[in-house]
Structure 1
Amino acid sequence: MASPMKRRLLLISNSTLHGSGYLDHCQDNIKNFLGSKIERVLFIPYALADRDGYAAVARKKFESLGYKLDSIHEQPNAVDAANNAQAIFVGGGNTFRLLKTLYDEKLVPIINRRVLQDGVPYIGSSAGTNVATASINTTNDMPIVYPPSFTALQLVPFNINPHYLDADPNSKHMGETREKRIMEFHEEEDSKPVLALREGCMLLVEGDTSVLQGKTKARLFQKGKEPTEHDIGSDFTFLL
């Protein structure tokens, strides 16, 4: 991995929290993260099929926060757009579709370089958070398309599971819990730690430091260890 000293990431579990609108629950975090020097944000809507509709929703929100939004699918050249971006926001949807398109458009090395070497701020939500990590092996999504690799942008050296759900002790569902699925991942060799983000929380990464933000706790899974609970404000720098 390239030097992470300039790395700035805001990795959000979910775009919409129950009872609120699109990005409402994290809009203050986004404003604090982007600050006043950023004027335009490049939006990557590849996780959804309706890119025009998705861009309209994202544009309305970011403009309400004081930022112009340009959707990459509206630009003449995706690589040029990424190379010129002041900040990047990758929205949620299907993680397999998103990563496949990033590879198809030859954006994986470009975004990696812009974030890790140039210090371009990166915001991810749900699938956009999944692709910021080491791999998409811990996504909740169905493989509706097949990317050339599960290796993701590698902006951080671990995995994340967004929308993490705790097992319901009153449920009669007999299938695997989210916890069980993550433990299956750790049965494989060289599997990474998995930070399970419940809806309403997010991870802020600034260079070589990382802290949990938001409204809910996170759960950390490490191979060979019992899962651990972490409150808002917890320091996850050790994962970097």
Structure 2
Amino acid sequence: MRLLLISNSTNAGEEYLKYPIGNIRDFLAGVSEVLFVPYAAVTFSYDAYLEKVQNRFDEIGIRVRSVHQYGNPAEEARKAHAIVVGGGNTFALVKKMQEEGLIEAIRERIDAGVPYVGWSAGSNVACPTLCTTNDMPIVQPQSFRTMGAVKFQINPHYLDHNPEGHAGETREQRIMEYIAANPRMYVAGLREGCMLRIEGNGISLIGSRPLRIFRCGEEPREVNAGESLDFLM
């Protein structure tokens, strides 16, 4: 199993996919073509999304094909040498992936060792469910079940900030609700500019910010790059 699960595509003030492209290049070393899943796009077209990703992947010499260009996306996934799933709205992404049979097809490829790269919503769908996404349910998928390639949940774009004068729940409070309802699950708060690289049973944090770990009955804690995350596996 090989996964690169990225919190966000773009750091503030930077170009699209600029900060993680070196990590993606290293992770996909030897790969000349990837299959892209653009279904998280809502306010722009799948063609526009493909072009945006291809423009960045041109820098690392990788051709990008998109599942929306084919009549049988699941069949294309089962032939892919690497799979990339972009961010956007997680509910829209999961709904379309379920309709096209991609949840099962991509999980089969991950289990076979095919490299998988996801950012934001693309990281959410590698988890058992979409329940720790930050997105609004703008459409209704068949279920909240996703690929379950990892055993824990990710909350991408995790932040601690609570604006002054804001009386609503913080991100941490939302996650505490989730673990109260799902006491056996770990949630990894993946801050922007960070990613998780999984190789077999090994997992490592890449980035300058710590990962915030949540589990029912335990105080939330911080784990820095270089420290063990084996408990998540």
TM-score (norm 1): 0.93
Instruction: Give the conservation status (yes or no) of the 8 Å contact 1:26–1:214.
Output: no
| Long gaps (5+) in structure 2 | none
1:31-42 to structure 2, matched below 5 A, reads 31-35=25-29, 37-42=30-35
Q: For the residues of structure 2 that align with 1:53 and 1:217, how far apart are their CA atoms?
A: 33
1:225-240 to structure 2, matched below 5 A, reads 225-240=218-233
Residue 190 of structure 2: aligned partner: 197
Instruction: Find 1:51's aligned residue among 28, 46, 55.
Output: 46
**Cα RMSD over matched residues?**
1.1
Instruction: Give the conservation status (yes or no) of the 8 Å contact 1:185–1:191.
Output: no
Instruction: Give the conservation status (yes or no) of the 8 Å contact 1:138–1:161.
Output: yes
Q: For the residues of structure 2 that align with 1:52 and 1:138, how far apart are their CA atoms?
A: 28
Instruction: Give the conservation status (yes or no) of the 8 Å contact 1:165–1:178.
Output: yes
Q: For the residues of structure 2 that align with 1:88 and 1:235, how far apart are their CA atoms?
A: 27
Distance apart, 1:172 and its partner CA: 1.1
Residue 9 of structure 2: aligned partner: 15
Distance apart, 1:190 and its partner CA: 4.6
Matched, 1:214 2:212: no
Q: For the residues of structure 2 that align with 1:140 and 1:150, how far apart are their CA atoms?
A: 14
SS of 1:186's partner is: helix
Instruction: Find 2:172's aligned residue among 168, 176, 179.
Output: 179
Distance apart, 1:74 and its partner CA: 1.0
Q: For the residues of structure 2 that align with 1:13 and 1:231, how far apart are their CA atoms?
A: 15
1:78-135 deviation line (CA, Å, top 9, x unaligned) = 012101111001000000010111100011111111101x111000100000000111
Instruction: Give the conservation status (yes or no) of the 8 Å contact 2:8–2:193.
Output: yes
Distance apart, 1:191 and its partner CA: 4.8
Between Structure 1 and Structure 2, how many residues are aligned? 231
1:88-237 to structure 2, matched below 5 A, reads 88-116=83-111, 118-168=112-162, 171-237=164-230
Runs of 4+ in 1 over 3 A off after TM superposition: none
Distance apart, 1:142 and its partner CA: 0.3
CA 197–189 in structure 1, closer or farther in 2 if over 3 Å, else same: closer
Q: For the residues of structure 2 that align with 1:199 and 1:229, how far apart are their CA atoms?
A: 15
Instruction: Find 1:60's aligned residue among 41, 55, 60.
Output: 55
Distance apart, 1:216 and its partner CA: 1.9
